Amino acid sequence: MTGAVGAGGPPRSVARSLDAAGILDSRLRADVEHCRRLHALHGRTYYLATWLLPADRRPAVWSLYGFFRTADELVDAVPTPDPRLLRDWTAGARAAVAGETSEDPSVRALVSVLDRHDLDPALVESFLRSMLMDLDVTGYRTYDDLLEYVEGSARVVGLMMLPVLGTAPGVTQEEAAPYAALLGEAFQLTNFVRDVGEDLVRGRLYLPEDDLAASGLTRDDLLTARAADPPPPAVVALLDREIGRCHDLYTQAEPGIALLDPRTRPGVRAAFTLYRRILDEVRSQGYPVLRRRVTVPRPRRAAVAVGAVAGGAGARIVH
């Protein structure tokens, strides 16, 4: 996890973003570029939305994503490689936040964001605790139980993004924080629906057992249903329950977009719309998430980006 992603220098538009953010040190520029390439490779929805942000905000978002993604890749590799890889990486990240040096570019990029945007290190610690939970916890009985994991894996991610995005004049971060946490939770639950089949193969399930029971299902039933096309009605009922919960969270989080810096709203609005649309695609494509990942088709992603540009004062995508 310490090498650069890809080879060659960043595109000129990326270099301009680094310049705008005041990132002039060559090693830090390489660290952020490492994170950006992770973002472009693994997070197409979010990555498109970052180009609707002001140039000086993009590097911090890329850096945060790169850090989160590096942790996620280590989690998803368990249990095939030694789980000590995740534990050792977590220990190294904690040490770096405390002031020690790191050999991981994503960790160095994170520390730079912490310093530049005065982020609370306790948020990083909460995130790392949730990542370590994946070593031992493979399921959750109730939604309240799941929220213990989501607090660190998603809600604090929204809180870490908030100082980077900024708030509107007269709006404090304390006022905007509940909405940022809710949006992080909505994005994470959308991931749980989209990735349920992949997670099952890895031995994990992030849909509450109580929800399965309400649809007359067990985890073994879901594993069996991976071979069914279309999925059984009980699986459709379960997924509709989870999708409904996600939509409720998006509805609760949406007013928070108006509390953000007007220059960052188009990017957040695009991410909000694109991620919420994944849920619509799950339904329109026949609930295939036990067999494969559902994505928003490229033309629809582009249309959302164009709409965000049209609706945002001064927003533009730089190529």
In a 13 Å sphere around the CA of 107, the CA atoms on its Cβ side amount to: 23
Q: What is d(CA 30, CA 162) in angstroms, rounded to the nearest whole number?
A: 24
25-52 pLDDT tens trace: 999 999 999 999 999 999 888 898 999 9
Residue 309: the pLDDT is 58
Q: What is d(CA 304, CA 173) in angstroms, rounded to the nearest whole number?
A: 27
Residue 172: the pLDDT is 98
Q: What is d(CA 191, CA 252) in angstroms, rounded to the nearest whole number?
A: 18
Residue type, 28: L
pTM for the full predicted model: 0.91
Query: Which ranges in the chain belong to alpha helices (H)?
Result: 12-20, 26-42, 44-50, 58-77, 84-97, 105-117, 121-133, 143-150, 156-165, 173-194, 196-201, 209-214, 219-225, 233-253, 265-284, 298-311
281-303 pLDDT tens trace: 999 999 999 999 998 887 777 77
pLDDT per residue as tens, the chain (319 positions): 334 343 344 678 999 999 999 999 999 999 999 999 999 999 888 898 999 999 999 999 999 999 999 999 999 877 666 789 999 999 999 999 999 999 999 999 999 999 999 999 999 999 999 999 999 999 999 999 999 999 999 999 999 999 999 999 999 999 999 999 999 999 999 999 999 999 999 999 999 999 999 999 999 999 999 999 999 999 999 999 999 999 999 999 999 999 999 999 999 999 999 999 999 999 999 999 999 999 888 777 777 766 765 665 444 443 3
Residue 311: the pLDDT is 61
Q: What is d(CA 292, CA 197) in angstroms, rounded to the nearest whole number?
A: 7
